Structure 1
Amino acid sequence: MTQPSPTRSSVVQSSGFFLFLVLLTAANLRTPITATGPILDNIRATFGLSAAAAGVLNFIPLMLFAAIAPIASWLGNRIGLEKSLWSAVCLIALGSVLRILPAESGLWLGTIILSTGIAASNVLLPPLIKRDFTQHTAKYIGLYASTMAITASIASGIAVPLASLGNIGWQLSVGVWAIPALIAAVVWLPLVKKARTPRPLNAMTDGARLKSPWRSALGWQVSLFMALQSMVFYTLIDWFTPFAQSHGFSQASAGWLLFVYQAVAIIANLGCMSALKRMKDQRLIGFIASLAISIGLAGLLFAPAIALLWLIIAGLGAGASMVICLSLFNLRAVDHRQAAQLSGMAQCVGYGIAALGPLIFGIIHQYSGNWTFPLALLLACHLFQLILAPLAGRARQIG
């Protein structure tokens, strides 16, 4: 059995409760985003949003993921991971409620607030796992990623059917996901009350010698690996539905195809989790995952009629890539403080670049009048992940 960290609250003395808490939090980190894509046209119709405004609505979460990441990393090391995570979950709950208000301002403000909470949670969960259950890092990261994939796929799959129920409309599709956020905020309370304030980093001799990931080539390799896999994922989430509709699929069918894309990631999450335990480094598995995404994109480009096949392949690569990214935050760091720094940097750089994917993809589609050129450009950009995978996957630490 893994012994609890001496800095951990006495409330969590078993790995069972800790795992439950991690998975409950993870269930809130993709659903507010993936539930929006399939019903974006419904939201546009309600508020009369232009295509450009809809693009900004998709752009906001990823840009906040990037902007908030370094702040969340600093805050976690300053006031503690538990308090920071509880605050983040509260923001997700608040933003989810605001987003379903009848005023357009609620949509924008709610999106900003919940995106801030998701951004902070994304950064802080991996170092929490490294601090308290170092020997189970791969297991917990894999289950954490699987939970995000399961809930994200469900949110995509049921978004259109929920929007068709009764007279509530799309508000039901996005509002239902406020419930798990509210539950998570309550479950976090015992940890927040018992949590200890961490000692300042400059009071720790070992911590003072740790190299900043921002000054490390390895830190940049991990960050860019994160960027490219995220760019493809969010571009497909945002634009696959209109792409599929232009090739003869219905809106509901496109929603379920996105469900499959994210659901197969669960298999990859669990398989990658097992593989990481047995491998001395992550070079091979990172390359295979990256290759699968490239094959999926190429298939959508040249044979969109069998999109289901290509989304399955790309989904397997996306699921494995996410587990690898989350694991690298811990594997390339010396301790949980440096893991928080690397997580903050990788998600700042990663989501900052990833945010440009859906935005530029949409602009190019608008001006080219077709899907071929933007999809080909997305594939060309993603090929760089094949180069980065062996570099970021080397069994080294930043120092």
Structure 2
Amino acid sequence: MPDNASHTPSQPPLAALGRQLVDAEEDSLPPPSAPRFRSRGTKLLFGASLVMIAFNLRPLFSSLSVLLAEVTHATGLSTAGASLLTALPVVCLGVFAPFAPELARRFGAERILLGALLLLTIGTALRGVESVPLLFFSTLLAGAAIAVSNVLLPSVVKRDFPESAAIMTGFYTMALCAGAAAGAGLTLPIESVAGSWSGALAAWAVPGLAVIFIFAPQALSARMPRARSAFRVVGLWQDRLAWQVTLFMGLQSALAYCVFGWLAPILRERGFEPAVAGGIVSLSVMAQVITCLAVPSFAVRRRNQRGVNVGLVALATAALLGLMFAPTWTVPFWAVLQGIGQGGLIAAAMIVIVLRSPDSHVAAHLSGMAQGIGYVLAAIGPLLVGLIRSWTGSFDWAAVLMVTLGVAAAWMGSGAGRALHVGARTVSVGKAG
């Protein structure tokens, strides 16, 4: 692949959190217009709805992890089958994300978000039926909904709250982490109340149902768009730097979803009580907030992001090894460190998409490439962890996989962190009629 990158101009100080947001509808003509809110209260309610939607995008991953032993025991699902189940929603993030911009152009981002939230709620509720085929189908349905929401929610935040994008991004980020932490920490207590693993998994449909009632009137009252794609980006898929950004996104995500999918079972195998294991995962996820919020502002002020990316990979990987092998009394310490490293990696992967792009159209397409290819690649991580457990009877050899992913992520992160622009350009394909 030729290295078509060109030097990037120096980066001025900016509201780095808001800069993370990539507009998935950037190519639309006419550009989508922000809604006209009747009052400040209406705007605040809309913003709160977006934050609540974000909260619902992560319990699907973390709630299953803490109950994986109960699910496999009750259903007879093999370890290989459990691996496929944990990897399936991550695959969905890559496969269905590219459809989001076109759906938004046709029907409006708000309506598509509402439809995705409805599918997510239905898929989550269907996990209450103790059937293996239905468990896979419901996970596929919910994973597809999350994929579309992942793409459109930041776009809506950027469009409707341009003057407070950084604040809204902070709330959005904290809601994502809170949802993941709640899924890890509260699912087992819910199981003790519900009396079954299926009831505990299905209970996470309740927050989604509540947001539907709040968000539906706002989404359905939004104006229908009359837009089409009026730009295209050429040269992106042949660019070496674009692939480094994409692979960095995928490899760091593979580490993240290994934590979501398998950290609780790893800790339970080490002798931790199920509720304690879930609490440790919750602690690690909440620690991600620290660097999710701090790293963008720090990273964009560096001459390049190579050291930031490599350092965060090293921290996240070393902490994972600590969680697997260090004395059990040190596990909470390693959990916090892993969260700090992983949260910073998530932010760093998003910020390099913007910093490596010469314009907003390229950023939107590079984001689509990084998510589409990256998340499919990321699914290999949790899939292989489960297969290694099945083949060896232990999670110990998964450490080799973690180190391999970490080394590869550091290599790609070093390349993606160079102060260059991808060698792609935006081409207009005509004016709006």
Q: TM-score range by the shorter chain?
A: 0.7 to 0.9
Tell me which residue corresponds to 1:34.
Answer: 62
Picking from 271, 295, 310, the partner of 1:248 is 271
1:371-386 paired onto structure 2 within 5 Å? 371-386=395-410
Tell me which residue corresponds to 1:10.
Answer: 36
Q: Is the 8 A contact 1:265 1:317 kept in 2?
A: yes
1:1-399 paired onto structure 2 within 5 Å? 7-11=33-37, 16-134=44-162, 136-165=164-193, 167=195, 169-189=196-216, 190-202=218-230, 207-208=231-232, 210-211=233-234, 213-275=236-298, 282-305=305-328, 306-333=330-357, 338-394=362-418, 397-398=421-422, 399=425
TM-score normalized with structure 1 length: 0.86
Supply the distance in 2 between the matched residues of 1:131 and 1:395 (Cα, whole angstroms). 28
Supply the distance in 1 between the matched residues of 2:354 and 2:39 (Cα, whole angstroms). 22
Supply the distance in 2 between the matched residues of 1:220 and 1:315 (Cα, whole angstroms). 26
Supply the distance in 2 between the matched residues of 1:323 and 1:116 (Cα, whole angstroms). 23
Question: Relative to 1, partners in 2 of residues 1:23 and 1:216: Cα closer, same or farther, differing over 3 Å?
Answer: farther
Supply the distance in 1 between the matched residues of 2:303 and 2:165 (Cα, whole angstroms). 15
Supply the distance in 2 between the matched residues of 1:83 and 1:132 (Cα, whole angstroms). 15
Bigger relative CO (Cα 8 Å, ≥ 6 apart): 2
Q: Is the 8 A contact 2:66 2:187 kept in 1?
A: yes
Cα deviation code 1:137-157 (max 9, x no counterpart): 444333322211112111101
Q: Is the 8 A contact 2:65 2:265 kept in 1?
A: no
Supply the distance in 2 between the matched residues of 1:330 and 1:25 (Cα, whole angstroms). 24
Q: C-alpha displacement at 1:331, in angstroms?
A: 4.6
Supply the distance in 1 between the matched residues of 2:358 and 2:47 (Cα, whole angstroms). 23
1:187 partner amino acid: I
1:197 partner amino acid: P
1:294 partner amino acid: T
Moved more, 385-394 or 31-40: 385-394
Q: C-alpha displacement at 1:389, in angstroms?
A: 2.6
Q: Is the 8 A contact 1:89 1:185 kept in 2?
A: yes
Supply the distance in 2 between the matched residues of 1:330 and 1:141 (Cα, whole angstroms). 15
1:249 partner amino acid: F
Stretches of structure 1 that go unaligned for 5 or more consecutive residues are none
For residue 383 of structure 1, give the secondary structure of its aligned residue in structure 2: helix
Cα deviation code 1:160-193 (max 9, x no counterpart): 12212253x2233222221221233333332343
2:269 partner amino acid: S
Stretches of structure 2 that go unaligned for 5 or more consecutive residues are 1-17, 19-30, 426-433
Supply the distance in 2 between the matched residues of 1:55 and 1:364 (Cα, whole angstroms). 10
For residue 34 of structure 1, give the secondary structure of its aligned residue in structure 2: helix
Q: C-alpha displacement at 1:117, in angstroms?
A: 0.3
For residue 194 of structure 1, give the secondary structure of its aligned residue in structure 2: coil
For residue 66 of structure 1, give the secondary structure of its aligned residue in structure 2: helix
1:175 partner amino acid: A
Q: C-alpha displacement at 1:300, in angstroms?
A: 3.4
Q: C-alpha displacement at 1:352, in angstroms?
A: 0.8
Supply the distance in 1 between the matched residues of 2:211 and 2:38 (Cα, whole angstroms). 15
Q: Is the 8 A contact 1:283 1:393 kept in 2?
A: yes
Question: Relative to 1, partners in 2 of residues 1:347 and 1:160: Cα closer, same or farther, differing over 3 Å?
Answer: same
Q: Is the 8 A contact 1:127 1:336 kept in 2?
A: no
2:177 partner amino acid: A
Q: Is the 8 A contact 2:55 2:176 kept in 1?
A: yes
Question: Relative to 1, partners in 2 of residues 1:357 and 1:33: Cα closer, same or farther, differing over 3 Å?
Answer: same
- The CA RMSD over aligned residues, in Å, is 2.9
Q: C-alpha displacement at 1:104, in angstroms?
A: 4.1
Q: Is the 8 A contact 2:254 2:405 kept in 1?
A: no
Q: Is the 8 A contact 1:66 1:352 kept in 2?
A: yes
Moved more, 387-396 or 65-74: 387-396
More helix per residue: 1
The percentage of counterpart residues that share the same residue type is 29
Q: Is the 8 A contact 1:142 1:323 kept in 2?
A: no
Aligned length: 390
Question: Relative to 1, partners in 2 of residues 1:21 and 1:222: Cα closer, same or farther, differing over 3 Å?
Answer: farther
